[in-house]
Chains A and B, each alone.
Chain A
Amino acid sequence: MKVSEVPQDITYYEGEKRACYALNDKGKYVIVTSTGWNDEAVVNSLAVEELAEHLEETRKEVFAGTRSPLYYHMESRQMNPRILAKTAGLAVFRVKRHFHPEIFARLKPSLLARYAKALALSVEELKTVPEKRDERGNSK
């Protein structure tokens, strides 16, 4: 890759730049910053959109009463039951049980606090899910 070939397609990194290795006109390697590459954006957005789609389905399931808000917040933190269980210091089967809305509704405040801490949310946030689709699931 030559310096002139380093992609400067779009501002894909939210204002940040990335370092690329490229050859200058004397044939020496230098680090050049790149603002983004369309082809990379295609594959990355596939993954990001997939997460967002999945999260949206889960959000609807919570409103339909088939999953608990805990499941939604786990997904929005891009965790799986194993990671959540380890972070909260619980057994995986207990965490999975709490994905049922009726069981989740009966949880003790101490357990809720534990989940809230693991997911970096307040207990109030943990008990509800957003009314509208959340595009950036993982915003803090």
Chain B
Amino acid sequence: MKEATANKMNSEITVSGRTFIHQHAAHCESGVTAALFRDKGVKISEAMVFGVGSGMFFGHLPFIKWVGMPITTFRSRPRTLFPKVAKRLGGKFFTKEYRNAQKGMAALRNALSDGHIVGLTTNIYWLSYFPNRFRFQFNGHNIIALREIENGFRVSDPILDHPVDCSTEDLERARFARGPLEPKGFMYWVETVVENPDFRSACLAGMKESCYMMLKVPFPFIGIKGMRYLAKQIIKSPEKLGFPEACRRLANVVRMQEEVGTGGAGFRFMYAAFLQEAAELFGSDELAELSQEMTAIGDIWREFAVVSARVVKQRGQSEETFAKAGGLMLIPAGREEQLFKELYNLLRKLEK
């Protein structure tokens, strides 16, 4: 019974009179992109979007600080997913930034009354419908505006399992928040899509780029190299930084891995879901095997999170140590390296 009411709650009528079904997603950007394409009649899942748009990534950037700590990211740069997916599926899309908040809000109203549903980049702190614990000054959250309502907008936030109302004031602040990675009122939508897009070539392009990012970027902080670098940093951190600071750093890595919108294990499970879908698309047993391997890797990432949480919680009183946590990160590094090498070789076969 609960499900029936939930479904009713999740279906919305857009300005153009179409029915919009809100779908719960693990990650904001892939969830929004998938919903925008679904609204235009392309059947595509969130995991597929994530794979086609090369969302898979790893980077540890010790020289860029966010809330005083180095950034560790498990996903590609915000705002790149949507254009990549749109290009690879051969659709026409619209993106624009605004400097002036009034103009940006007016443009949003125009777009809505033209019958589009509009993707927006926002600052998560100013979206007061979110649980307080998750409101941090982060400028890369994506939502969809469905239609205007009294004093605000009806919004589909893929992280939540139902659409919500967002006041005009909140939305304006969130869209025009200042600080690192400013959203600048960025808004986007799909204009036209090709009928029966070529998912196979789109998948290949997405996987190829992911392989490149994970294996071949000539930069020590990106991809597999970044994982190994971070693992070493974690092992050394208690001596180098002192115990409390080392705990903060470790907790921050786990937060980036498991907090809002990764689908678990820093997107590794979502990528495994993508590989599974791709395996069906190509009828390839090899891809299915890689999907299983990716799931196993995700499980190790989960274990890394469990061990790290124990280190942080027990303040060094437990048997779990930084060395063990760091060691647990080296295992997925090695296995992911192997996986992406195999995937890269497989791509040549699939291209034929």
Residues of A with Cβ closer than 8 Å to B? Answer: 1, 6, 12-23, 28-29, 31, 33, 37-40, 42-44, 46-48, 50, 77-79, 82-83, 86-87, 120, 136, 138-140
Q: Given A1-B299, A16-B160, A83-B179, A21 and B132 touching (CB < 8 A)?
A: no
Question: A10 CB to closest chain B CB, in angstroms?
Answer: 12
Given A16-B160, A39-B306, A46-B251, A83–B137 Cβ distance below 8 Å? yes
> How many residues belonging to B are interface residues under a CB distance threshold of 8 Å?
52
B173–A120 CB distance below 8 A? yes
B208 touches A (CB below 8 Å): no
Chain B residues, Cβ within 8 Å of A16: 131, 160-161
Q: Is there contact, CB below 8 Å, between A1 and B254? A: no
Say whether B203 faces chain A, with CB atoms less than 8 Å apart: no
- A21-B26, A31-B26, A46-B248 known; A14-B47 Cβ under 8 A: no
* Residues from chain A with Cβ under 8 Å of B269 in the complex: 1, 20-22, 29
Give the contact stretch, choosing among B72-80, B190-198, B227-235, B270-278.
Answer: B270-278
Contact assessment for A22 and B264 in the assembled complex, using a CB-CB cutoff below 8 Å: yes
A13, A19, A47, A83: the one contacting B251 at CB < 8 Å is A47
Sample of 17 more A-B contacts, CB < 8 Å, known A33-B24, A33-B161, A78-B67: A1-B264, A12-B133, A13-B133, A14-B131, A15-B131, A19-B26, A21-B273, A39-B306, A40-B255, A44-B133, A46-B247, A77-B125, A78-B137, A82-B179, A83-B179, A138-B125, A138-B135
Over the window 143-154 of chain B, the binary record of Cβ atoms lying under 8 Å from chain A Cβ atoms (1 yes, 0 no) is 000000000000
A140 to B132, CA, bound (A): 10
Known: A29-B273, A46-B248, A78-B137. A86 touches B264 (CB 8 A): no
Tell whether B10 is near chain A: CB-to-CB under 8 Å: no
B272 close to A14 (CB less than 8 A): no
> Contact between B309 and A39 (Cβ–Cβ < 8 Å)?
yes
Which single member of A14, A38, A77 contacts B132 (CB below 8 Å)?
Answer: A14
User: Which residues from B are CB-within-8-Å of A136?
Assistant: 132
Which residues of chain B have C-beta atoms less than 8 A from A50's C-beta?
Answer: 248
Is B313 an interface residue, CB under 8 A from the partner? yes
Decide: A29 and B276 in contact? CB cutoff 8 A: yes
A-B contact count (CB 8 A): 125
Query: Known contacts A1-B298, A1-B302, A78-B137; is A139 also within 8 Å of B248 by CB?
Result: no
**Chain B contact residues: over half helix, strand or loop, or mixed?**
helix
Q: In whole angstroms, what is the CA distance A136 to B313 when docked?
A: 22
Cβ–Cβ < 8 Å partners of B136 in chain A: 78
Q: How far is the CB of B30 from chain A (nearest CB, A)?
A: 11
Whole-angstrom distance from the CB of B159 to the nearest CB of chain A?
A: 7
Evaluate contact between B251 and A43: CB separation under 8 angstroms: yes
Chain A nearest Cβ from B91, distance in angstroms: 24
7 tightest Cβ-Cβ pairs between the two chains A and B = A29-B273, A39-B309, A86-B178, A14-B131, A21-B269, A43-B251, A83-B179
B263 at interface, CB cutoff 8 A: yes
Chain B residues with CB under 8 A of A18: 26, 159, 260
Q: Give A81 to B180 CA distance when docked, in angstroms.
A: 12
Shortest B173–chain A CB gap in Å is: 7
Asked if B265 is at the interface (CB within 8 A of a chain A CB), the reply is yes
User: At the interface, yes or no: B168 with Cβ under 8 Å from chain A?
Assistant: no
B27-66: contact bitstring with A at CB < 8 Å (1 yes, 0 no)?
A: 0000000000000000000110000000000000000000
How far is it, in angstroms, between the C-alpha of A18 and the C-alpha of B25 when the chains are bound?
8
The complex places the Cα of A18 from the Cα of B263 at a distance, in Å, of 8
Which A residues lie within 8 Å of B247 (CB)?
46
List, sorted by A's number, 15 A–B pairs whose CB atoms are closer than 8 Å. Answer: A1-B302, A15-B131, A21-B26, A38-B309, A40-B255, A40-B258, A40-B259, A40-B305, A42-B309, A42-B312, A46-B251, A47-B252, A83-B178, A83-B179, A86-B178
A79 and chain B: residue at smallest CB distance: B137
Q: Chain A: which residue is nearest B139 at the CB level?
A: A83
Contact among B25, B137, B265, B276 for A28, CB-based, below 8 A:
B276
* B308 adjacent to chain A (CB < 8 Å): yes
Distance of A15 Cα from B312 Cα, bound (Å): 26
Task: Find out whether the CB atom of A46 lies under 8 angstroms from the CB atom of B159.
Answer: no
Q: Which of these, A20, A33, A48, A87, contacts B177 with CB under 8 Å?
A: A87
Chain A contacts for B254, CB-based, 8 A: 39-40, 43
**Pair A43/B309 contact, Cβ less than 8 Å:** yes
A116 to B26 Cα, complex, angstroms: 35
Asked if residues B179 and A48 are in contact (CB atoms below 8 Å), the reply is: no
